[in-house]
Amino acid sequence: MAEFSIDDINEMHHLYRINLINSCSGYKSANLIGTKDKDGNSNVAVFSSVTHIGSNPPMFGFFTRPTTVMRHTYDNIKNTGEFTLNHIHQDIIEDAHHTSAKYDKSISEFDVTKLEEEYKDNFDAPFVKGCPLQIAMTFVEEYHIKTNSTILVIGKIEKLYVADNLMEKDGFVDLSKGKTATINGLDGYAIPTLKTRLGYQRPKKGYAHRDD
């Protein structure tokens, strides 16, 4: 088994270190975040850091890198208060990944890929057409991570759109039926398959409850 001390990690070539550490957190969500600026210019970008914050109220968050350079997604969210989350699926992986390229603010990633804008229910931020799960979000708050100057952006769900074939009777969304992608590291994409669902777990008889 490969072994790395913190000194080994600190001395690595930066690209090797980035690939190594980004892969170690496990498979991550693969989302396209859609936004618009105040002038109506659309933007869409791939993010692998979207995470569940809470269900009541329903909130998600994502991390963005330092704003020492232009971060169009972050700037648009702060200026308009709206954004969309769109699950990347098998058919759009290459175009979705290309949205990580650094284009000028005046150039929409929708125009340089085959991704299509979609608008629903008078929500200003663009959805990505054809995604099996789409979420309309509004900005709630942000937290600055002092150690590396990243920002945790938190939003609440305003409306949720889920393809009918993904929905189970108990509210579970079977993402595997939508060929939803996941990201390994920075540039590795996989299409997971649901193996099983396991019920709510309770302590075995004879074992006392304890607070860990």
Q: Of the given ranges (31-35, 109-113, 205-209), which has the lowest mean pLDDT? A: 205-209
Q: Is residue 17 part of a domain?
A: no
CB contact burial 138-151 (16+ within 10 A = b; e otherwise)? ebeeeeeeeeeebb
Given this model, what pLDDT does residue 68 score? 54
Average pLDDT over residues 20-28: 92
Query: What are the Cα distances from residue 67, in Å, to 6, 50, 72, 81, 135?
Result: 27, 18, 10, 17, 25
- Going by DSSP bridges, is the β-strand pair 182-184/42-47 parallel, antiparallel, or unpaired? unpaired
**Full domain range(s) for residue 84:** 27-190
Could you read off the pLDDT of 91-114 as tens digits, one per residue? 999 999 999 999 998 899 999 999
| 202 pLDDT tier (thresholds 50, 70, 90) | confident
Given this model, what pLDDT does residue 203 score? 87
- pLDDT, mean over the chain: 93
| 120 pLDDT tier (thresholds 50, 70, 90) | very high
- Is residue 83 pLDDT above 80, yes or no? yes
Given this model, what pLDDT does residue 205 score? 84
Q: Is 10 exposed, middle or buried (0-12, 13-18, 19+ CB in 10 A)?
A: exposed
Given this model, what pLDDT does residue 69 score? 52
What's the domain count of the chain? 1
- Is residue 210 pLDDT above 80, yes or no? no
Percentage above 70 pLDDT, the chain: 96
Q: Could you tell me the sign of the dihedral formed by the alpha carbons of 100, 66, 61, 188, in that order?
A: positive
| Distance between CA atoms of residues 28 and 129, nearest Å | 22
Q: Is residue 7 part of a domain?
A: no
| 178 pLDDT tier (thresholds 50, 70, 90) | very high
Whether residue 57 is preceded by a cis peptide bond, meaning omega within 30 degrees of 0, is: yes
Given this model, what pLDDT does residue 132 score? 97
Q: Is residue 39 part of a domain?
A: yes
Given this model, what pLDDT does residue 167 score? 96
Given this model, what pLDDT does residue 108 score? 95
| 71 pLDDT tier (thresholds 50, 70, 90) | confident
Q: Is residue 199 part of a domain?
A: no
Q: Is residue 89 part of a domain?
A: yes
Q: What is the CATH number of the domain that holds 167?
A: 2.30.110.10
Q: Is residue 15 part of a domain?
A: no
Rounded to 5 degrees, φ, ψ at 21 are -70, -40
In 3D space, the residue among 121, 136, 125, 124 whose CA is nearest the CA of residue 44 turns out to be: 125
Q: Is residue 206 part of a domain?
A: no
Q: Is residue 6 part of a domain?
A: no
| Distance between CA atoms of residues 22 and 50, nearest Å | 14
Could you read off the pLDDT of 142-162 as tens digits, one per residue? 999 999 999 999 999 999 999
